[in-house]
């Protein structure tokens, strides 16, 4: 992958260097080229930096120590977030070097859960331009905007319309913080150079009255555009992406559930794109279930699944479970019959007058209720667990503390090792806490959560709580898509990613009931996931020219690492 302005070259002796054509303040203000105090004496002379930075040259390690000291002095999580974002805006290499050294500590700051607060306070903490803000007034000018970018080789775009942010909802232009955070994980996870990454906010207005009344709000100050006007904007946006960023993969992020499915279905074959909330969430949950089956020593086809929540994530989970069941030989109807889906109105039945198309495959015939033991005409969650003999319960509802002890006891009557994933973010909105789940199940539940939790100690045994983080999936998917240049990201690719990610958890961890890797292993997981997806792609598309036996080296050799290289003037 060439990085144009930021491309690493090698001299006649094979030593790496970066060719640089700018100098002085322009060089210092380029966040991808700035070295700060680490510019050498020779570089300071060649690039006219004398007097612009303190005279003592420091090493990369010195810089990381200094900025970590500053990070630790920040008193709150949002202050730490602001500090890191400021660092990223002035020196990308140093930012990622620091993040690499403290990845477990800092991922919750730059991503979930702190990024939710950053979205809400975006207009009050805005510091420096990053990414594109597309409105109905400027969407036709995207061609002109592109020419203002230092990098003309964008490969990954994360775009949001900020309507369904992290369970918060409509957050207007502040949703830009999510694409910025996601793209940081592409770079630290899959080693995709920051100059390849472009965050985009589609600012179509907001229905959040608090934002509209805020004099410091930086977004469009009117209600959200809707209907055909909205779809026309999306269509123009997609056409401009195809024209001006022809190599880019699009990740649709935090759209409303209705728009999520409509946009994905309409454009997934128009340009290489996927929906993180639907497809990545589904893949990461499937990976956890695959590992849970290894612990249980049982087959997926012998389970009954209840998915509590039918938004983008819940449907994505249901779809991925069914896809895997089809892969192992079940027909479509039998696979879907094993998944029972709950939304805000209860168990989804086929006789609803307002049944949306994306829920229809999982809607159950009301006739099944005739044989059920129920206290009323509408079954409760407990009654569904009892009557379906459910063994797997996934919560992705946005409803706090909805899983109770009676639900876990019902699962225990159906299986010795119930699988329970309360995945709603942030942690204080989760359907249940790991502490309660281990206590209610007497340590028998196989548990995963959506946010980071500390280890749980129950009956003298310590449990490391697995985090079903999308970050284990999408960096590898992005890397595989870039390297293979595929034009369509298929559901099969996400199933392949789930299996590759699941294989990153070794037997010792599985024996301890652990089904997800640790965040510190993010890059290793991304590499193995990318290879797993590339194996499928090369099998289905032999014409792309990637040899199966070379995939590990191809992926490894394309990983960008945060470090300084010598600069030479061109």
For 171, the token pair is: 């957050």
* Interior angle at CA 495, CA 235 and CA 254, nearest 5: 40
Please pick, among 81, 111, 217, 267, the residue that the annotation labels catalytic: 111
Is residue 167 within 8 Å of residue 120, measured between CB atoms?
no
Rounded Cα gap, residues 434 and 468, in angstroms: 13
Please pick, among 35, 64, 80, 182, the residue that the annotation labels catalytic: 182
Neighbours of 128 (CB within 10 A): 11
For 246, the token pair is: 């022809």
147: CB partners within 8 A, 6+ apart? none
Give the closest residue to 313 by CA, choosing from 126, 164, 142, 193: 164
For 245, the token pair is: 């960023």
Peptide bond between residue 288 and the one before it cis (omega within 30 degrees of 0): no
Q: Write the DSSP symbol of residue 204.
A: -
Rounded Cα gap, residues 418 and 424, in angstroms: 19
Question: Which residue, chain included where needed, has tokens 């310590």?
Answer: 462
Rounded Cα gap, residues 40 and 59, in angstroms: 9
Q: Is 182 marked active-site?
A: yes
Rounded Cα gap, residues 535 and 503, in angstroms: 14
Rounded Cα gap, residues 25 and 143, in angstroms: 27
Residues known to be catalytic: 111, 182
């Amino acid at each position: 992958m060439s990085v144009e302005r930021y491309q690493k070259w090698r001299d006649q002796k094979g030593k790496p260097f970066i060719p640089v054509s700018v100098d002085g303040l322009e060089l210092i203000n380029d966040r991808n080229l700035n070295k700060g105090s680490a510019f050498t004496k020779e570089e300071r002379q060649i690039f006219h930096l004398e007097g612009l930075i303190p005279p003592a040259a420091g090493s990369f390690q010195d810089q990381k120590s200094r900025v970590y000291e500053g990070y630790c002095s920040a008193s709150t999580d949002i202050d730490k977030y602001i500090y890191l974002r400021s660092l990223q805006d002035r020196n990308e290499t140093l930012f990622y070097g620091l993040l690499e050294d403290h990845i477990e500590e800092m991922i919750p700051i730059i991503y979930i859960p702190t990024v939710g607060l950053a979205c809400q306070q975006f207009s009050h903490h805005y510091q420096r331009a990053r990414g594109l803000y597309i409105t109905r007034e400027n969407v036709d000018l995207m061609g002109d905007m592109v020419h203002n970018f230092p990098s003309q080789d964008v490969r990954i775009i994360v775009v949001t319309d900020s309507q369904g942010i992290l369970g918060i909802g409509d957050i207007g232009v502040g949703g830009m913080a999510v694409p910025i955070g996601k793209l940081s994980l592409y770079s630290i996870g899959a080693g995709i150079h920051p100059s390849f990454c472009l965050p985009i906010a589609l600012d179509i207005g907001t229905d959040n009255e608090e934002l509209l009344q805020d004099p410091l709000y930086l977004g469009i100050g009117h209600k959200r555009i809707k209907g055909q006007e909205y779809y026309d904007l999306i269509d123009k946006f997609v056409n401009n992406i195809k024209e001006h960023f022809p190599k880019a993969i699009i990740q649709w992020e935090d759209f409303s559930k209705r728009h999520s499915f409509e946009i994905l279905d309409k454009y997934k074959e128009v340009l290489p794109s996927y929906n993180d909330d639907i497809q990545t969430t589904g893949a990461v949950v499937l990976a956890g279930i695959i590992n849970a089956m290894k612990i249980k020593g049982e087959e997926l086809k012998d389970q009954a699944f209840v998915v509590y929540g039918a938004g983008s994530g819940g449907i994505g989970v249901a779809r991925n479970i069914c896809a895997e069941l089809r892969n192992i030989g079940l027909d479509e109807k039998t696979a879907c019959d094993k998944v029972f889906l709950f939304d805000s109105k209860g168990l989804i039945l086929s006789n609803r007058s307002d049944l949306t198309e994306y829920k229809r495959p999982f809607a159950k015939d009301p006739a099944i209720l005739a044989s059920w033991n129920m206290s009323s005409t509408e079954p409760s969650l407990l009654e569904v667990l009892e009557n379906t003999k459910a063994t797997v319960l996934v919560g992705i509802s946005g409803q706090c503390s909805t899983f109770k002890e009676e639900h876990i006891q019902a699962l225990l009557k159906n299986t010795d090792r119930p699988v329970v994933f309360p995945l709603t973010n942030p942690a204080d909105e989760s359907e249940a806490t790991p502490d309660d789940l281990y206590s209610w199940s007497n340590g028998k539940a196989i548990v995963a959560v959506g946010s980071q939790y500390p280890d749980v100690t129950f009956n003298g045994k310590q449990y490391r709580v697995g985090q079903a983080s999308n970050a284990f999936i999408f960096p590898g998917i992005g890397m595989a898509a870039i390297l293979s240049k595929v034009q369509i990201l298929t559901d099969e690719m996400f199933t392949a990613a789930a299996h590759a990610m699941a294989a990153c958890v070794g037997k010792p961890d599985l024996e301890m009931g652990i089904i997800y890797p640790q965040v510190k292993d993010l890059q290793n997981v991304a590499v193995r996931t990318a290879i797993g997806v590339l194996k499928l792609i090369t099998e289905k598309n032999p014409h792309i020219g990637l040899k199966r036996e070379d995939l590990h080296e191809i992926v490894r050799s394309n990983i960008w690492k945060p470090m300084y290289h010598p600069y030479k003037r061109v």
